[in-house]
Amino acid sequence: MTADVFLFWFLALITVISGLAVVLMANPIYSALCLAMTMISVAAIFVTLQAYFLAGVQIIVYAGAVMVLFVMVLMLFDLKHELQAFTRGRATGALKIASVGILSGLIVGAVTIGLTIAGRSSDEVISAAAAGGVVDTTRGLSEALFLKNIFGFEALGVLLLVIAVGTVALSRSKGGTHARD
Amino acid sequence: MTSMGNTTFEIVINTIKLLAVFLLMVQAVPILVWLERRGSAFIQNRFGPNRVGPLGLVQLLADAVKFLTKEDFAPEKGNRIMFYMAPVFALIPAAVAYAAIPMSVPLKVGDYTFLIQGYEINVGIVFILGISSLAAYTILMAGWGSGSKFSLMGALRASAQIISYELALGLSIVGIILLYGTFNLTEMIHAQQGIYHFSAFGYTVAASWLPNWGIFYQPLGMILFFSATFAESNRLPFDLAEGEAELVAGFHTEYGGFKMLMFFIGEYGHMMIASGLMATFFFGGYSIWNFTPQEVYNWCYGLVGSEQIANVMNVVLHFLSYNIKFAIFLWIFIHVRWTLPRFRYDQLMDLGWKTMLPWALGNTIVTAIVIFVTSYFVIS
């Protein structure tokens, strides 16, 4: 077993376990922390595929900023109340069944795709990707973002701005934090 | 896989190096604590710990024994798993991130190049910023796991502060990244070696009395970066997390003994990362004032006349050079802590979002325009 293979299985195991823990944990704070763990281990898998910039951005943006905000908000909630509201009821039951369906579909898809690249080392995968014109250097990424797809990228930025403005507008609509009810 | 090594030999070497960097960091903390206590005493015109051993240096050992023998206490209403996990996790981001900073020129032994850094990673800056941003989790875990309002409020304050200043921190070094055209810390240091020189409009400007350091290109970036790192490591004047008057001691109110010490080590670790990055980005990293490593090597070779010894000497000289810069920044951290008063919370947020962020953005835009104009228009 080479270092490459060991590293892959190790990281894959951590990713899958922490991913499962996100769904199976009853306490939402544990779930959120496990989700952060999943993101970090996915970033580590990116590093083994030599996609360094993507790994760094994954950690900074998702694990370092977005999930921290999630955890912060969760810690301010009254968790016991939330727990009961989400584990009872017919609508939640339907949601659970639907998500089981989606999950099994994802597993089947992952196995099918995984079989086509099984048995190849990460170096082979990287060189195959490089031969196919995929460049994951930071320069290649920025050229794709800022030269080829600049309008799509800007449109996404505007969309995010719309979302931010919409959130503020919604939260202020009924008096916001100063609401008297 | 190239970053961790292909052969067993390389993997073993890298593991040992990681351990060595971690131990280096942990060992530096008692000395820093001593320096901080003696330094604060010096600033406030008192003596500080001077009874145990020469200059009070053995005080650290006494403290360590005290910390180890204290009662292992956990609050009853807290979450025990989180409570015990948080201090352990506090050490990880600091140690992992510090290992990525290059500390000297590579040592060549036979045909193997031994890097004087934990590991070389292609996108050094992005990696270090990412890893050190994970410190917010340990604070939140500690605050929530303690099961106390004061701890939770302290944790929320501290992590809100870390997230807000991360933006200014990230943007303040974009100018430096544009200037050197790389994310790699070693390449950045290479770009800062030798005398001050740059080319603009097709001309080359050089000044033999100045080193080619980042601070002479990006002074504003340096100020913003250094201030943001103060906020990131939760130290005065940004130690809102520990506002003793309002929050007892912030997120580590409930911690005592060695667990408390581990948070301390984490905090000092962040100081060390900040100092190392300051040296690397703006003060030439391990490079020596005005000299390239090749010139230093030639000087050593002329002195001893043996290639092997000259090589080792070169490495040692650069290592010393790095550590001198490193120590100066650590001292500035300590000095500022005992000089400036604390900000109010709204002042802190104003400074982060309304002052530092726009200035950092402006710095980025101006740098980009200047780099474009000076390299695009050639006057011949």
Condensed to tens digits (0 to 9), the pLDDT of residues A71-86 reads 888 887 766 665 666 6
> What would the two tokens of residue B208 be?
């033999």
pLDDT-based confidence at B129, cuts 50/70/90?
confident
Residue contact A52–B126, C-beta within 8 A: yes
CB B85 within 8 A of CB B16: no
Residue contact B6–A3, C-beta within 8 A: yes
Residue contact A59–B143, C-beta within 8 A: no
- Average pLDDT rounded to a whole number, residues B53-73: 83
DSSP B248: T
Q: Comparing C-alpha atoms, which of B145, B142, B143 is closest to residue B76? A: B145
Residue contact A68–B141, C-beta within 8 A: no
Q: Which of A69-83, B26-40, B304-318 has the lowest mean pLDDT?
A: A69-83
In degrees and rounded to multiples of 5, residue B285 shows phi and psi of 55, -130
- Asked whether the predicted pLDDT for residue B1 surpasses 80, the reply is no
Q: State the Cα–Cα distance between residues B252 and B241, nearest whole angstrom.
A: 9
Angle between helices B8-43 and B59-69 (to 10 degrees): 110
**Which positions ≥6 away from B240 have C-beta within 8 Å?**
B157, B158, B161, B342, B343, B345, B348
Q: What confidence score (pLDDT) does residue A55 get? A: 86
| A73 at B interface, C-beta within 8 A | no
**Which positions ≥6 away from B147 have C-beta within 8 Å?**
B75, B76, B77, B78, B79, B254
Residue contact B137–A60, C-beta within 8 A: no
Q: What confidence score (pLDDT) does residue A27 get? A: 80
In degrees and rounded to multiples of 5, residue B39 shows phi and psi of -65, -45
- Asked whether the predicted pLDDT for residue B25 surpasses 80, the reply is yes
CB B235 within 8 A of CB B250: no
Question: Could you give the ipTM of this predicted complex?
Answer: 0.81
Q: What confidence score (pLDDT) does residue B324 get? A: 92
Half-sphere exposure in the Cβ direction for B77 (13 Å, CA): 5
Class of domain A3-148: mainly alpha
Q: pLDDT above 90 covers what percent of chain B?
A: 9
- In chain A, where are the structural domains located? 3-148, 149-181
Strand, coil or helix: A25: coil
- Asked whether the predicted pLDDT for residue B321 surpasses 50, the reply is yes
Report pLDDT digits (tens) over B157-196: 888 888 888 888 888 988 888 888 888 888 888 888 878 8
| A60 at B interface, C-beta within 8 A | yes
Backbone Cα Rg of chain A: 21
Q: Which of A165-169, B9-13, B171-175 has the lowest mean pLDDT?
A: B9-13
Q: Does a cis peptide bond (omega within 30 degrees of 0) precede residue B293?
A: no
Across chain B, what does the average pLDDT equal? 84
Residue contact B166–A64, C-beta within 8 A: yes
Distance from CA of A103 to the nearest CA of B (A): 28
**Chain B residue with minimum CA distance to A6:** B1
Chain B residues with beta carbon closer than 8 angstroms to that of A53: 122-123, 126, 183
Q: pLDDT above 70 covers what percent of chain A?
A: 77
pLDDT-based confidence at B2, cuts 50/70/90?
very low
Chain B residues with beta carbon closer than 8 angstroms to that of A4: 1
Chain B residues with beta carbon closer than 8 angstroms to that of A138: 123, 183
- Asked whether the predicted pLDDT for residue B68 surpasses 80, the reply is yes
Strand, coil or helix: B121: coil
Q: What confidence score (pLDDT) does residue B197 get? A: 78
**Which positions ≥6 away from B204 have C-beta within 8 Å?**
B197, B198
> What would the two tokens of residue A21 be?
């823990």
Q: Which of A15-29, B1-15, B170-184, B275-289 has the lowest mean pLDDT?
A: B1-15
